[in-house]
Amino acid sequence: MDKNIKLLQGNEACVEGALAAGVTFFAGYPITPSTEIAEILSKELPKIGGRFIQMEDEIGGIAATIGGSLAGRKSMTATSGPGFSLKQENLGFAFATEIPLVIVNVMRGGPSTGLPTSTSQEDVMQARWGTHGDHAVIALAPSSVPDTYYTTIKAFNLAEKYSMPVIILLDEVIGHMREKVEIPEKVEGIEPRKKPTESPEEYLPYKAEPTEGPVLAPFGSGYRYHITGLTHDFTGFPTSDPEEVKYLKDRLYNKIYSNLDDILDVEEIETEDMDLLVVSYGSVSRSAESAVLEAREEGLKVGMLRLRTVWPFADSYIDKYADKVKAVIVPEQNQGQIVNEVRRVVEGRAKVFGENRYDGELIKPQQILERIKEVHKNA
């Protein structure tokens, strides 16, 4: 038997991907359905000289994760909906101060403590707009257990490359289902932690090109500098100078939106001759793909976009097909979130329909297929 083939839960695959990407620090607090990530890393990190710490709550979890990253370690935390809410203020601090880390949100139903053991996609807008102020966000949504492994590696690479938190939006179905995953002997293309090349006397921590992230020296490495959640200049100290404030905020945006070719990941399925488009992400995209393929067998010209990158949104992909299809269907495990982003991009060029389920059960292919038939007949 090939030793590199494993039967893993999605949460286990997330851990394997994090280890392959070089994680050496985890801080968090247990919460269903993400707890396996913390449990496994508590055992695995000490074996490689890493550090695991269970904090007193989710707020402390992300605070310690920020500290681990500032000390030079690739760092991550994991949570679910209520814990993700508690992490927002410190997450905003990490966006503003451009600290690389990975935060996994294994989504469950809400609001409040909601449905701890059931699936949902109800935190999608929270991932984009949960923190205050203007800044860009990267959020990735794997749709399978193997996909979770590689998505986690990509999340770490993007966090390091663009010096920022990256969010993984798992959901309970993917986190707890089991699938075969082939673990490579060696993973190529791992992004290392950036280190300054200038001397400590010449070092300016936040001096970076308009489309790039800064290089933050690890604390204790001989480079002394200031970090603040206030708007700051190149030295890291607070500033209210309008030009310096604008430069910082523009860079927080442009380092993402000037590099969409590197960040966006969208899978196109049966899109060549379609006249109806399905847009989906995460676990729901599995049901959607089954429905699209069955509709194809019945002679309907249906195609699909699987959003592996949820944020930044795939405007260019939606726009490319908006004039070529009669209608767009957006199945989601919520009352309608990404569907409004699709409407924004389509701008009336095609009809846009949501197809939703939010009772804790996964949308089945038959539900989406029936919607496809209905829309195809009437559009």
**Model confidence band, residue 379 (pLDDT cutoffs 50, 70, 90):** confident
Provide the pLDDT for residue 3.
64
* Averaged pLDDT, 193-218: 96
DSSP-derived 3-state class of residue 134: coil
Provide the pLDDT for residue 311.
98
- pLDDT tens-digit map of 276-311: 999 999 999 999 999 999 999 999 999 999 999 999
| Mean pLDDT rounded to a whole number for the chain | 97
Crossing angle for the helix pair 10-21 and 145-162, to the nearest 10 degrees:
40
Residue carrying structure tokens 């990941």: 265
Over 90: is that where the pLDDT of 131 sits?
yes
* Averaged pLDDT, 69-74: 98
**Model confidence band, residue 2 (pLDDT cutoffs 50, 70, 90):** low
At 75, the amino acid letter reads S
Query: Contact 23/44 with Cβ under 8 angstroms?
Result: no
Phi first, then psi: what are they for 168, rounded to 5°?
Answer: -105, 120
Long-range Cβ pairs for the range 228-233 (8 Å, 24+): 228/97, 229/92, 229/93, 229/96, 229/97, 231/96, 232/97, 232/206, 233/206
The neighbour count for residue 181, using CB atoms within 10 Å, is 23
Over 50: is that where the pLDDT of 1 sits?
no
- Provide the token pair at 38: 């913390």
Per the DSSP assignment, residues forming a β-bridge with 169 are 105
Over 90: is that where the pLDDT of 183 sits?
yes
Provide the pLDDT for residue 342.
98
Phi-psi region of 360 (alpha: psi -120 to 50; beta: other; left: phi over 0): left
Domains annotated on the chain, with CATH: 5-182 (3.40.50.970), 266-378 (3.40.50.920)
User: What proportion of the chain, given as a percentage, has pLDDT over 90?
Assistant: 98
Provide the pLDDT for residue 77.
98
- pLDDT tens-digit map of 267-276: 999 999 999 9
- pLDDT tens-digit map of 347-358: 999 999 999 999
- pLDDT tens-digit map of 29-59: 999 999 999 999 999 999 999 999 999 999 9
